[in-house]
Every structure is written in structure tokens, then in C-alpha cells.
Amino acid sequence: MANKTEKVPKQMQSTFDAITALTDKFCKENLNEEYAQLSRQLTAALCRKRPSPLTKGRTAGWACGIVYALGFANFLFDKSQEPYMSAADLCYGFGISQSTGSAKSRVVRDVLDMHQLDPNWCLPSRMDRNPLIWMLMINGLIVDVRGMPREVQEIAYRKGLIPYIPDDRKG
């Protein structure tokens, strides 16, 4: 699992602040706090890249691309999901064209090797339903660690392979 933090190099702090001001506002008005938090963490991850792609281009374009990339990873554009928003509406909300939003999203996803159901960028509320988080190779076999003995789950957790021990979340 990725180490998610909002720490950024000093020279990138103003860029981080400008982008997250836009993503926080957009997520608060249109999505939820989970998207806002992941947007801040994703922005910070991009700020730490050497060289950071965020040093070139408009702030609004990057803000949109970041939320767009998270939306792609979490199926935001699928009408059967909640929250749902079309890609066109997302881009409109940032005041940029859909082609720019899509292009910036592609850069974000390429730089961080992000994909749909990406365990590193999954909304916390969707972790239980994301099979990629729980599939591990043990003794050459791919298994769902949720069905393994607790000792195996504890080892996977200590190694940072899973976000929590599943039995600890059961009510």
C-alpha cells in the first residue's frame, strides 16, 4: 500500500496549496470528504515526484486531472456508483475542457502508475469491496487473504500488504 501523506517539498508548497484549494472546494461541493482527502494526498505525491509534472500548466487543469484520475480509479463516471458524476460535468466544474481534463488525468495516472481499482487510490469506503486490495500471492497461489487464518492476515498487515485486519472491522 502507498504511504499517503500530505508532506511536500518546500519549493512545491505553494503549488500544493493552490491545487488543493481548488480540489477541496470542488469535492466539498460536488463529491465528498474521501475524494477531497485522496486529492490532497495525490497532489502531494505528484509534488514529491522529481521532476514534478505540476510545475508546468494551469492550476485548474491539474486540479481537474487529479480528481478525474481518482474518479477513473473509483468508477466516479459509472452511473451505478455513488457518488456519480460525468467526466464532462467534472471538467466543467473546474472550468476546463474535457480533453484537457482527460489529458491531465492521463499524465497523473501514468506518473503514478494508477489504474482502475488501484489499491493505493481506492476510496476508504470502498476498500471492503475492492478485490485487488485483498488478493495476495501465498506459496505461489493467488488467494483472497480475507479467507486465510488470522495469523496470515496479521503478517500481511505488518508487511503493509493490506490496510487492516478484516476481522477487526466486523461488527
pLDDT tier for residue 1 given thresholds of 50, 70 and 90 = low
pLDDT at 3: 59
User: Please, are residues 51 and 15 in contact by the beta-carbon 8 Å criterion?
Assistant: no
Q: Which amino acid is it at 108?
A: V
pLDDT at 35: 98
Residue 136 lies in a domain: yes
pLDDT at 94: 97
Decide: helix, strand or coil at residue 102: helix
Residue 2 lies in a domain: no
154 and 97 part of one domain = no
110 and 30 part of one domain = yes
163 cis-preceded (ω within 30 degrees of 0) = no
Q: Residue 140's domain spans which residues?
A: 130-169
43 and 112 part of one domain = yes
Residue 78 lies in a domain: yes
21 and 102 part of one domain = yes
118 and 159 part of one domain = no
Residue 5 lies in a domain: no
- Residue 40: Cβ-neighbour burial (10 angstroms; 0-12, 13-18, 19+): buried
94 and 138 part of one domain = no
Domain total for the chain? 2
Q: What pLDDT digit, counting tens, does each position of 99-142 carry?
A: 999 999 999 999 999 999 999 999 989 988 888 889 998 889 99
14 and 79 part of one domain = yes
10 Å Cβ neighbour count for 125? 11
